[in-house]
Amino acid sequence: MHATGRRRYAVRWDEAAGRRIRSLHTGGDRVRGPQVVMVPGLGALGYLLDALEGCGAWAESFLLDVPGFGHRQPRACPARIPALAEAVSAWLTAVPRGPVVLVGHSTGAQVALRVAADRPQTVESLVLMGPTFPPALRRAPGLLGALARTLAHEAPGELGATVPYYVRGGAREMLRYARSALHDAPERTIGRVTCPTLVLRGAHDALAPQEWARRLATAAPNGRVRTVPGAHNFPYRQGDLTAALIAGAARRR
């Protein structure tokens, strides 16, 4: 068991369609009620630990280590949006006791969106936090400007919660992951989602601007959008707020 703040999480490994997928697990004593599954952005788990702990206070909760930057190789899957969606779908089929509240942040939101659209039987509610990338940011000039405006509002402490994962992933894989996310088109996928959807964004998040969040929420059935304090990585050090918003989404499932 590992201590992170006020609660503990367990590291577990599960077999899913021939893959070994690592996750961080808490709230396992809650054998009834919703299950929360979180997919991190760009493979970094550290900035979502507070949110995992917050969710573990009211639900059995998992933070998936995909593509596997939280441990040494071999990886669970290639760092590409389609491959990540396949790995998450396989895990959801093999591990949880039923449909889950699926939460994705940043590029993880793109992965979660694909899973919810392709495997509706495994997802009862969807939460997209800081979903990337709107069409205007799929080219370097727009993306770099939005990134600079967003980073100005991020907490310096996030570096320690994300950079070790990026280093372990390697520059080549990180670049391929980013390119895959930039070539994805969430606006083409959201219309196939059938479950209630909540889109969350930070007030200073230029990577997930208000118009983009509203567009996704409007296209989803029973979709809602909420702007919260912070920037792109708003769940970092706002675990209780993030968990409360996820709990609200779980109640609407």
CATH classification at residue 105: 3.40.50.1820
Q: Which residues contact 172 (CB under 8 A, 6 or more apart)?
A: none
Find, among 2, 1, 3, 247, the residue nearest to 125 by Cα: 247
Q: How far apart are CA 76 and CA 64, in angstroms?
A: 10
Whether residue 7 is predicted with pLDDT greater than 70 in this model: the reply is no
Q: Could you give the count of Cα atoms lying within 13 Å of 126 in the half-sphere of its Cβ?
A: 35
Identify the residue with better confidence: 28 or 198.
198
**What total number of domains does the chain contain?**
1
Q: Parallel, antiparallel, or unpaired: how do β-strands 35-39 and 100-105 relate? A: parallel
Single pTM value for the model: 0.95
For residue 196, cis peptide bond before it (omega within 30 degrees of 0): no
What domain range includes position 59? 2-251
Confidence of residue 28 (pLDDT cuts 50, 70, 90): confident
Edge-to-edge order in the sheet of strand 100-105: 2-4, 7-16, 19-26, 60-64, 35-39, 100-105, 123-129, 197-202, 223-228
Q: What is the pLDDT of residues 92-144, one digit of tens each?
A: 999 999 999 999 999 999 999 999 999 999 999 999 999 999 999 999 999 99
Q: Which residues contact 167 (CB under 8 A, 6 or more apart)?
A: none
Find, among 153, 100, 127, the residue nearest to 213 by Cα: 127
Q: What is the mean pLDDT of the chain?
A: 95
